[in-house]
Amino acid sequence: MLRKIFIKLHNTATQQRKKQIIDLLDYQPEIKILDLGCDDGIRTMEIARKIGTRSIYGVDIIEDQLLLAAQLGIKTTKTDLNQQLPFENNYFDLIHADQVIEHIAFLDDFASETNRVLKPGGTLIISTENGSSWHNIFAAIMGWQIFSSTNLSTKRGGLGNPLAILRHEKKIMNSWTHKTIFNYRGLKEFCEIYGFRLIAVRGAGYYPLPSFLGRLDPRHCHYMTMKFRKAF
């Protein structure tokens, strides 16, 4: 019963997070955008429509999903985000990375490459799970693996937490395992040392309370979304 309630709260927070990202975007039809971890491209196209641009690029590591994204008109490239991005310096005006950074093994390389391909003054939007969310704090008190760090192995999901969403999954793709879970200040300061200046923050999910409360307290929400400007 508790697990079903948690899944329902999670789904509500996910929809709120996606709306918040769209709301952070401005109409700029002349810009080029890059979606890191574009999957099947459906979400990428929602972002592109809000911006009004047709210069849409996406990278992912799963070929089948990239084929679907390409059919939508996205310029796709198969890329491991732990490695160098296949683009020129200062090429994009906006980079979007939703639920990506927690899966990255080599964070310094990822941040350095993101800075390299983004134009000076360009926008970076990162959304990820929050290690300081109340439900993660509760899990830690119980001696459980925190919710945001239960996908540790490709052999089975939801390890160490009886309420984890993927608790009963028998196999997890390597690209789905979580490497680093950020807290509010950690994500902010990490991006700052790579030349990004924080300009807006949004929070979604506030288990077990209503999801909208995450907007009021992004330091303890489930999903934290940060909008940065490339300063150098």
CB distance 204 to 99 below 8 Å: no
Query: How many other CB atoms are found less than 10 A from the CB of residue 91?
Result: 16
- 138-170, pLDDT tens digit by residue? 999 999 999 999 999 999 999 999 999 898 888
Contact 74, 54 (CB under 8 A): no
pLDDT given for residue 41 in this prediction? 98
Instruction: Give CA torsion, residues 143, 160, 151, 204, to 10 deg.
Output: -50
Q: Which pLDDT score is estimated for 136?
A: 97
pTM: 0.96
- Domain range holding 164? 2-230
pLDDT at residue 211, as a whole number:
87
Give residue 174's pLDDT.
87
Q: Residues for the chain: how many in total?
A: 232
Task: Return the CATH number at 148.
Answer: 3.40.50.150
Q: Cα separation of 198 and 231, whole Å?
A: 10
Q: What are phi and psi of 111, to 5 degrees?
A: -65, -40
**Tokens representing 31?**
């810009």
The pLDDT score that the predictor gives to residue 196 is 98
pLDDT, position 10: 87
Low-confidence ranges of the chain (pLDDT < 70): 1, 3
User: How many structural domains compose the chain?
Assistant: 1
Identify the DSSP state of 215: G
